[in-house]
Amino acid sequence: MYRLIEKGLMFGNLVRIDSPVLVERYNRALKSLTGHQTEQTEFHIDISGFSPEVADELGDPLYLNQSGVNRQFILLTTEQKTAPLLDAKFSTSRGILRQFIDANHEQLFALTARDAVAGEMVNSVYHADTPNDLFNIRRITIEADTTQGTVKTAATLGKLIDRFKSEPDAWWDDVLIGEMIGLAKETGDVTRNPVTLTQNSFDADDFWTAHFGGVYLFRSYGDPVVIAHDRLAVDAKCITLADRGAIAKFLRQNRLAEPLADARGVDAASILHQKMDFIVAEVAARHGETLVGATRRDMRILGRKYAAELPPEWKGLAALARWAEGAGEWPRIDSDHPAYFYSLRASRSKNTDLVNMLLAELAPLDVRQLFICHKDAFYADYAKWSDAKKDYVADFLAREYAADKAGTRAKLFGHHGLPNVPKTEKRDILDAVGPWGAIRRGR
């Protein structure tokens, strides 16, 4: 993995902690959450405060996420909001933490100026012993406070202030006034600068989890649907990743995916050609070709050289690219075709990221989408690649993605990050017929 680490593609954008004051605050928070402390004087943390160096020291990669279900977190600075979440067990975890920090930015900025904020993402499940336990995860509530209990103290002070304002004899209550003054010394003026944390409850209807080999759970589309690597004993419809037809039907019926060739706001032909290049790289790497810095022209030459070995995924995408460029007929590609899921992207919905994550797992030769949308699967695949492919992919991602992440995502997904489609919004005929309907946009 050294190539990825060296190029900032793994453990990148972590927050460096090297101040004795911050280390001491981290230890107080760590002690309150886990009973442990670190002897590290310099380390890095992700959005949740998890540190690879501390995990290595403690010999516990789940020291802030026992059983992988209720993630704890330590905030030393609001700058953590842009950091990744390492070894995420649920696809929703980073988004929830980011929303919580954004919603409480001013309060957290003030609190972390004096202390660490420690907390937990709480749900009703403490262990996921069986796949059915996942269905009990419906709502995530964030509980957080400083190590000195500033938020709790401020809430107590707020109630005393309400008493002082409402009780007619409060002006002569020396005990009440003395208690208020004592608490105010800890919290400051809560009437002018309220120390409260809001927007701390989040729905979790649809998500991916690393438990049980990797499971996608959808509950927003009628009866619950589970998509997993293997058949699971669950009280719901279970589709395996090998059942391509069933997955395609689920995506089509719920309008969760659309063909790249029909997608608005993207250069479909360019994206298709890049996917084809990734497939050529897979074949060429097996023959020991040097691929670092390879241009589109180089990949065409290699594609011709190894044309007899190019898989059906490449051929299907090539046919789609010809159509997108007006140089060929519309190819009929159904879910049985190996290129089918390579030709889709998620439609705009509240689950855009989750669907793109699923599509990335179903189209693993598209290494760029796999890296962006499903890093767990990417790192697992990367470990199995030849050195030639590792060099090519690490170089490509550093040059073409890391240099402009937002721009690349916009080119690939177009609508990524936009608000949900209102149910009342009028749809055109292409939306109505689904990804591979009979009606096509004319050229």
Distance CA 321, CA 300 (A): 14
Contact indicator for 115, 82 with CB cutoff of 8 Å: no
Task: Give the per-residue pLDDT at 436.
Answer: 37
The predicted model scores a pTM of 0.84
Question: Of all residues in the chain, what percent carry a pLDDT higher than 70?
Answer: 83
Q: Residue with structure tokens 């959808």?
A: 218
Q: Distance (Å, rounded) from C-alpha 272 to C-alpha 261?
A: 9
47 compared with 330, residue with greater pLDDT: 47
Please give the radius of gyration of the chain, using alpha carbons only, rounded to the nearest integer: 26
pLDDT in the model for residue 19 = 93
pLDDT tens digit sequence for 321-333 = 999 888 888 888 9
Asked if pLDDT for residue 193 goes beyond 70, the answer is no
Note whether 7 and 45 are within 8 A (CB). Answer: no
The whole-chain average pLDDT of the chain stands at: 85
Q: Torsion over CA of 59, 61, 63 and 69, rounded to 10 degrees?
A: -150
Residue 263 pLDDT: 73
State the CB neighbour count (10 A cutoff) for residue 334: 10
User: Residue 118 has what pLDDT?
Assistant: 93
> How confident is the model at residue 316, as a pLDDT?
95
For position 157, what pLDDT does the model report?
52
CA dist 356 and 344 (Å) reads: 9
More confident residue, 304 or 200: 304
> Per-residue confidence at 90, pLDDT binned at 50, 70, 90?
very high
The 10s digit of each residue's pLDDT in 118-170 is 999 988 677 889 999 999 998 999 998 888 777 766 655 555 556 656 767 66
Instruction: Say what angle helices 105-112 and 93-103 make with each other, to 10 degrees.
Output: 80
Would you state the pLDDT for residue 74? 97
pLDDT of 385 strictly over 80: yes
